[in-house]
Chain A
């Protein structure tokens, strides 16, 4: 038995830890209150009154729907690309040892390790050198690139836990490579891929820095929000959108956590 079990923490440590967690969470809760405020022109606290009318106003705003739809489409396609590329890369890196293996891991991690602005302006200058006009696909190109790493991380962790002898057993019993993949490998890594996919979706759905460089005139939901932050036009609508965004990103994160919590490495510990 470990000797430190059942010990309680010093009071000062408890207060500092609780204070730190409150610091992390209170600002997000505040958003929920502001979504109901009757005040239109300022951020006055406490709210002079509470109302649900802004939800209806937001619901009837076509620009919000357009931005949301673009964000969802971009996130879906980027996630699909990232799933394929990330899984292939993870399978190759975890199954075999080859020359340049470390370089490949570095290559996958680099787009998220360097500040987003570097990725963004690098893509933009490449587009301008190659004279590629901005489109839906230029956004996807950027997003898929930094989404590969979250899928890769989850898949690599799962491959490490899956024993190679299962694949050999399947082959010994007469299955060909494709059958083995379909009936042995895929069921083993499915939850890790689902978790990675959800994190990739959340990452893409929320991305703003790279997107500002690759979107041109198009508006994803984060870009819509950024415009509202810089030049506020209708604050109550922004409040409601902010609240919805918090709720929408919360669900995939919780789902990814529950899908992988039994493992040695839980999804999302590296963003």
Chain B
């Protein structure tokens, strides 16, 4: 009897297909997850593949074209002549200047970032931690142009920095610095020193965040053990903290280095008339109309960053991102 009662109302093990177009579609996705995956991936991959990778490919292609020196028209035939132009002394100068600046900016960012990151990772707790986080995030996300503009105000000859140094009776220091070759100039806002300061300022948050992430993972007792064993603070830093923070520093340097290599607005607004790679690219494609040379110039930071990323990966920097 019990068996008969059970059998009289059999509940189906498999639910009936839900009706309608929508139901059929839903069932189809459930049965074939690969199809759903494909449909989800298709729009973003198509967009990035066509718009972005396609454009990069177009750029690379253009660097193998050349410009006709007489007519100014672009000659769409494969040649390495444009890359040869890159090796002219003036262009090599630009590349060398940019790479030197990028290296100096990276070094200075690392030095300024370390204490902030270390304090935020090891000592800041609770509300202070949140405050530190926002204190790094807000400048990171503030408008890039406004930040540059603020420094134009600060570094101007009549601006706050000159005023401050005058109050402190330190104007001789500024004048002395400005009279130096290469780093000096008429005022800080038209010197390499100014360019350098603004680069450091604008990219600094990109260095702090990965260094802090790396330092968060260093257990505090490691530092204590080091000092218990008789190391001076300097020795602890050199032998314990610094090696453990290094992947973070390298990760941050990817940003500071790459961003400095590609920037053309900062040196244009605050700096001398001597060009950086970004400015060369911009003027070649704009006023000069020489897109092949501009394209060849952009290949330089891509190649440099390729080597840089390869080295960074070997040092384990990507785990700190």
Q: Which of A's residues lie within 8 Å of B, judged by CB?
A: 2-5, 7-10, 13-14, 16-17, 20-21, 23-25, 27-28, 30-31, 34, 42-46, 81, 84-86, 88-89, 91-92, 95-96, 98, 104, 107-108, 110-111, 113-119, 121-126, 128-129, 141, 144-145, 148, 171, 174, 176-178, 199, 202, 206, 208-209, 212-213, 222, 225-226, 229-230, 238, 242, 245-246, 249-250, 253-254, 257, 261, 266, 268-271
Given A122-B55, A246-B143, A250-B138: A89 and B44 within 8 A (CB)? Answer: yes
**A250–B142 CB distance below 8 A:** yes
7 A-B pairs (CB sep. < 8 Å): A30-B153, A43-B159, A122-B55, A123-B51, A129-B62, A178-B22, A226-B265
CA distance A42 to B189 in the complex (A): 14
A43 engages B145 (CB within 8 Å):
no
> Is B95 in the interface zone, CB < 8 Å from A?
no
A4 near B224 (CB under 8 angstroms)?
Answer: yes
In contact, A114 and B302 (Cβ under 8 angstroms):
yes
Listed in ascending order, the chain B residues whose CB lies under 8 Å from chain A are 15, 18, 22-23, 25-27, 29-30, 33, 36-37, 40-41, 43-45, 47-49, 51-56, 58-59, 61-62, 112-113, 115-116, 118-120, 122-123, 125, 130, 132-154, 156, 158-160, 162-163, 201, 204-206, 209, 220-221, 224, 233, 258-259, 261-265, 268-269, 278, 281-282, 285, 291, 294-295, 298, 301-302, 305, 321
Closest to B150 in A: A27
Choose among B51, B145, B321 the residue that contacts A229 (Cβ–Cβ < 8 A): B145
Of A23, A111, A121, A125, the residue contacting B201 (CB under 8 A) is A23
Bound form: Cα–Cα A213–B294 in Å: 13
User: Chain B: interface secondary structure?
Assistant: helix
Please determine whether B153 and A2 come into contact, CB atoms closer than 8 angstroms.
no
Partner of B146, one of A85, A174, A209, A242: A242
Shortest Cβ distance from residue B79 to the other chain A in the assembled complex, whole angstroms: 17
Q: Which of B41, B53, B143 has the most CB of A within 10 A?
A: B143
Contact (Cβ within 8 A) B119 A9: yes
Kindly identify which residue among B123, B139, B154, B262 contacts A30, using a CB–CB cutoff of 8 Å: B154
User: B37–A96 contact, CB under 8 A?
Assistant: yes
Residue among A16, A28, A43, A229 with most chain B CB within 10 A: A43
**Closest chain A residue to B292, Cβ basis:** A125
B268: contacting residue among A24, A96, A230, A253, CB under 8 A: A230
- Residue of chain A at shortest CB distance from B50: A126
Tell me if B113 and A20 are in contact (CB < 8 A): yes
Q: Is the CB of A21 within 8 A of B123?
A: no
Q: Are A46 and B163 in contact (CB under 8 A)?
A: yes
Contact (Cβ within 8 A) B49 A107? yes
Q: Does A118 contact B301, Cβ atoms closer than 8 Å?
A: yes
A215 CB, min distance to chain B CBs, angstroms? 13
| Contact call B123/A8, Cβ cutoff below 8 A | yes
- Residue from A14, A98, A115, A141 having most chain B Cβ neighbours under 10 A: A115
Contact A230 B258 (CB under 8 A): no
Interface centre among B22, B142, B206, B298 (most CB of A within 10 A): B142
Return chain B residues, CB-CB under 8 Å to A16: 115-116, 119
B285 lies within 8 A of A268 (CB): no
Kindly list chain A residues whose C-beta atoms are within 8 Å of the C-beta of B41.
88-89, 92, 104
Are B298 and A253 interface neighbours, CB within 8 A?
no
> With a CB–CB cut-off of 8 A, which chain B residues contact A95?
37
User: Is A20 a contact of B115 with CB atoms below 8 Å?
Assistant: yes
- Cross-interface CB contact of A4 among B22, B26, B220, cutoff 8 Å: B220
A117 touches B298 (CB 8 A): yes
Given A88-B43, A115-B301 in contact, is the A20-B154 Cβ separation under 8 Å? Answer: no
Residues of A within 8 A of B62 (CB): 125, 129
Contact A238 B115 (CB under 8 A): no
Is there an interface contact between A31 and B146, defined as CB atoms closer than 8 Å? yes
Please name all residues of chain B whose beta carbon is closer than 8 Å to the beta carbon of A269 when the two chains form the complex. 137, 209
Q: Min CB distance, B302 to chain A, in Å?
A: 7
Q: Which of A14, A141, A222 contacts B145 (CB 8 A)?
A: A222
> When chains A and B are docked, how far (Å) is the Cα of A141 from the Cα of B40?
20
A22 to B132, CA, bound (A): 12
A176–B291 CB distance below 8 A: no
Closest 7 CB pairs of A and B: A115-B262, A4-B220, A16-B115, A176-B26, A17-B119, A122-B55, A27-B150
Please, how many angstroms separate the alpha-carbon atoms of A270 and B207 in the complex? 11
